[in-house]
Structure 1
Amino acid sequence: MSALPSTGRPVFEPTERVPALAALRSAVTDRRWDAVAAAFEALPDEDDRVQACRTVAETPGAETFLRQVADQRPGDPLPRTLLAQRLVQAGWDVRTAARAEHVSRRQFDAFFAHLRQAEQLLIDVCAEYPAYGLAWYVRIITGRGLELGQSETRRRHDRLAEHHPHHYSGQLQLLQQLCPKWGGTWEAADAFVRDAVAKAPEGNPNGALVAVLQMEHYLELTEKESKQAAERHLRDPGRHARLVDAARRSVLHPAFRPDSHQAVGAHSAFAAAHSVAGRPADAAPHFRALGDHASEFPWGYVGNGDHEAAFVRHRKTALAKG
């Protein structure tokens, strides 16, 4: 990540800002399994492995290659887990990110079919390798997508946390389930975030859960009430103080890894929450850490779908005033 502010065009695609991820995508496209396996072996951090898994899953046509490798290596959990995540990605591409009422029956049928295939692969992996974090992470997603309920999705997260405490990517997925849009409540989501952030070691990205929760609530208030109501929610002094403290303990802490695959998303969440609340000075340190790097979430919540324009506009204001 850049350590200096920039006014260049932001880069949202991870493979364009992380050479290792670009090399991983090339290995998948070229069907070089040894290179794919080596890339994951070089990532001991579970959250970094999640981003690598997403890179594979977002590679068009990867399922054919991954299915072939999974058949050839039946005892290896990695190809089955990558195939499962690819199926989940393909299913979500059909479903889209729209609210359920805007998704057709045909889309839902195709979506569920993809997720059921992924779930069967993951059931076997988790039975054979109970500590395999990547598989439990993907099962949190399939649990939500298959509408298995709050308790089951939380159970899957808890199994992940047994072996990998403070798994930020898994916590992000459970947080989605706990939000009202997936059948949860703001009270449950808030309680989970408070507990997760309080228990996380300083310098871990988990503090960004506070910013993500605030942006999720902002989006719902924008859709159901008004943009003004959503902005008032973020301007609450208590929420402001909580956000500043969470950043101090996580992404702005000296122990934080700026080269982690989670850094861009975490800083983006803090920058967006402060920017929308009209606090450019508080957003500025996060924009400085980001430089020209950005993540689509949560800027898509801010700019009426134009995440790049929203990022550029708020970055300009923050760096001028902060």
Structure 2
Amino acid sequence: MLWLLKSRERKAVFAMMKEAKRRGVEIDELKNVLTPEEFAALLPPEKPKFKGRIPDVTRWGLPADGEVSAKEYWTDTEILAVQESTARGEWEGAAALLASTQGNWARRDQVTGALGEAAAKDDEWLRAWRKARPGDPGAALVNAASLVDVAWEVRSSLQAKHVTQEQFAAFFRVLEQAEDAVHEAAGLAPEDPTPWVTALTIAMGRQYENDQYRKVWAELVARDPRHRGAHSRALQYWCAKWFGSNELMWEFAETAAAESPNLAPLLLVAAHEAEFQDVPAWREPQVSGALDGILALLDGEDYPEKRGDRAYLAKALVENGRFDEAVEQFRHLGTRADGGVWSYSGDPRGEFLATRYAACAGATRV
């Protein structure tokens, strides 16, 4: 009943009912006919997430609120150029870029993901590549990644209760095809861990039991035991919201961090996941004790994955009362609120701004 909803939710429902009537559609169909911007415009603004007097962040040399954007931000000129060429139906640039990543597995995973996403939208160029170079391991790798993207596009990002049986059936069917494609790619390049990174995503989608998942994980770590992208994916699997628990998640994150300083940011991700399950974690010793090492790790030049870690670090520093250091992380982040830590509430820009306010409110003014 509408009276059971909170005020903001009631206002949103009434606005959507009115818009659905205006467009002559059912309210359940409204999201399919509106752009994300139009849908967002129907929602009344949320109350400020920051409690207290909002500071003028520009006094700390930070960009004004109006400049902040949650839009995904790419600075990789090589990937951007290849995405443009594949949109024209050209495959040679994609093949050359992917071939150049051989042995640099983190980069190979990043390029594969970008090319898979492009092929999921239009695979004409990928089909031309596979026809021109039968048995090319790079083309097979991109094919597997693209099928995973297609599967999730079919399923949609909605909660399971809003996904139809037909969508789920198609989702699992395409994931089976993706799994076959992963095995093809792995067979063409036995030393490459990248197909097994894709296999981890498929395992989550196909709802592998823990022992099944560990078999896929074993294939990955046999090829690259400290693969950061794979560890990020696996941490999600071991979360309580997927197929693990808080205990298994922490065990995984702490083991990884002990094996390599480069994997220590996983502790911050685990803390955020725990907090999202209403389990206080930001000030736990394994998190607070890792902050100095993570600060040193993230010092220097930025890149997309590092920006995501920096966002988690900014949040952790605020939660631990280290406000001056948090402000410094926000200087690095600039106007970019596209880190995963901000997105959980559904209002990434709002979360970014609220955390930045808290950092400045507690910091020493410079």
- Relative distance call for 1:136 and 1:218 in structure 2 (3 A) is same
Name the amino acid aligned to 1:9: V
Q: Distance in 2 between matches of 1:305 and 1:278?
A: 25
Larger Rg: 2
Q: Distance in 2 between matches of 1:110 and 1:94?
A: 7
Hey, what does 1:236 align to over in structure 2?
283
SS at match of 1:24: helix
Hey, what does 2:264 align to over in structure 1?
207
Contact 1:137/1:170 (CA < 8 Å) preserved in 2? Answer: yes
Name the amino acid aligned to 1:174: A
| 63-72 or 166-175: bigger deviation | 63-72
Unaligned runs of 5+ in 2: 1-60
Instruction: Summarize deviations over 1:36-55 as a string: whole Å, max 9, x none.
Output: 12222344532222222222
Contact 1:9/1:292 (CA < 8 Å) preserved in 2? Answer: yes
Number of matched pairs: 299
Q: Distance in 1 between matches of 2:258 and 2:170?
A: 40
Instruction: Summarize deviations over 1:32-71 as a string: whole Å, max 9, x none.
Output: 2221122223445322222222222333623332233224
- Relative distance call for 1:307 and 1:67 in structure 2 (3 A) is same
Hey, what does 1:185 align to over in structure 2?
245
Deviation at 1:307, TM superposition (A): 1.0
SS at match of 1:182: coil
* RMSD, matched Cα: 2.6
Contact 2:337/2:348 (CA < 8 Å) preserved in 1? Answer: no
SS at match of 1:247: helix
| 160-169 or 68-77: bigger deviation | 68-77
> Aligned residues: percent identity?
25
Hey, what does 1:300 align to over in structure 2?
343
Deviation at 1:262, TM superposition (A): 1.6
Name the amino acid aligned to 1:73: R
Contact 1:47/1:261 (CA < 8 Å) preserved in 2? Answer: no
Hey, what does 1:218 align to over in structure 2?
275
Aligned 1:121-140 pairs, distance under 5 A? 121-140=181-200
**From 77, 87, 93, the counterpart of 2:137:** 77
Q: Distance in 2 between matches of 1:136 and 1:188?
A: 21
Comparing both structures, which one devotes a greater share of its residues to helix?
A: 1
Hey, what does 1:53 align to over in structure 2?
112
Instruction: Summarize deviations over 1:148-201 as a string: whole Å, max 9, x none.
Output: 22222222222222222210100011111111222212111111111111111x
Name the amino acid aligned to 1:150: N
Contact 1:10/1:312 (CA < 8 Å) preserved in 2? Answer: no
Contact 1:56/1:62 (CA < 8 Å) preserved in 2? Answer: no
Q: Distance in 2 between matches of 1:65 and 1:75?
A: 16
Name the amino acid aligned to 1:13: E
Name the amino acid aligned to 1:212: V
**From 298, 307, 315, the counterpart of 1:251:** 298
Deviation at 1:276, TM superposition (A): 5.8
Name the amino acid aligned to 2:271: Q
Unaligned runs of 5+ in 1: 222-229
Contact 1:51/1:261 (CA < 8 Å) preserved in 2? Answer: no
Hey, what does 1:173 align to over in structure 2?
233
Hey, what does 1:285 align to over in structure 2?
328
Which structure has more RCO (C-alpha within 8 Å, separation ≥ 6)? 1
**From 303, 315, 319, the counterpart of 2:356:** 315
Query: Normalising to structure 2: TM-score of the pair?
Result: 0.73
Name the amino acid aligned to 1:36: A
Hey, what does 1:224 align to over in structure 2?
none
